């Protein structure tokens, strides 16, 4: 399959690389199929690109790179799965490249969990009042 993206131009991919989000992403609930794109030029960021609406793409980052003790904000069952040797999962948070004051910010309140074995993704909203949706990282 091929899609044309704003960030990377044309991308060719196999259907088995598509991650299904049954509930979509907050604000983009109609987008249910995404690719996780890793481009060395954007390290340590990844891109979450909507397959069905190719103009939609989110830069994402592993939140542990921005907040060392982020695990304490997550449900214990999720932390166990993220760090289990037999699980193939990632945790990302959406990054805003021109956030408050033109700074790069990360949404720590609503992480995205990707289970590569199940080809499923989910964005959750964490209950902690201390987690900002615009945590500066630059």
User: What is the secondary structure of 81-114 as a DSSP string?
Assistant: HHT-TT--EEEEEEEETT-GGG--EE--SS-EEE
What's the pLDDT at 58? 94
pLDDT for 7 beyond 60 = yes
The reported pTM is 0.90
pLDDT in tens, 38-58: 999 889 999 999 999 989 999
- Residue 123 to residue 138: CA distance in whole angstroms: 24
What's the pLDDT at 85? 82
3-state SS assignment for residue 34: strand
For the chain, the structural domain boundaries read: 2-136
- Residue 111 to residue 82: CA distance in whole angstroms: 13
pLDDT for 119 beyond 90 = yes
Average pLDDT over residues 23-44: 94
What's the pLDDT at 90? 95
pLDDT for 68 beyond 80 = yes
Fold of the CATH domain 2-136 = BH3618-like (2.30.290)
Q: Report the share of the chain in percent with pLDDT over 90.
A: 67
pLDDT for 99 beyond 70 = no
How many C-beta neighbours within 10 Å does residue 16 have? 6
């Amino acid at each position: 399959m091929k899609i044309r993206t704003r960030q990377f131009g044309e991308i060719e991919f196999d259907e088995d690389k598509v991650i299904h989000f049954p509930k979509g992403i907050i604000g983009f609930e109609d987008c249910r199929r995404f690719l996780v794109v890793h481009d060395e030029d954007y390290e340590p960021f990844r891109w979450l690109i909507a397959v069905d609406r190719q103009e939609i793409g989110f830069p994402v980052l592993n939140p542990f790179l921005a907040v060392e003790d982020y695990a304490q904000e997550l449900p214990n069952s999720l932390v166990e799965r993220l760090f289990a040797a037999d699980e193939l999962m990632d945790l990302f948070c959406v990054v805003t490249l021109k956030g408050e004051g033109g700074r790069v910010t990360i949404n720590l309140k609503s992480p995205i969990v990707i289970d590569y074995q199940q080809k499923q993704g989910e964005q959750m909203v964490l209950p902690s009042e201390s987690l900002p949706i615009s945590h500066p990282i630059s």
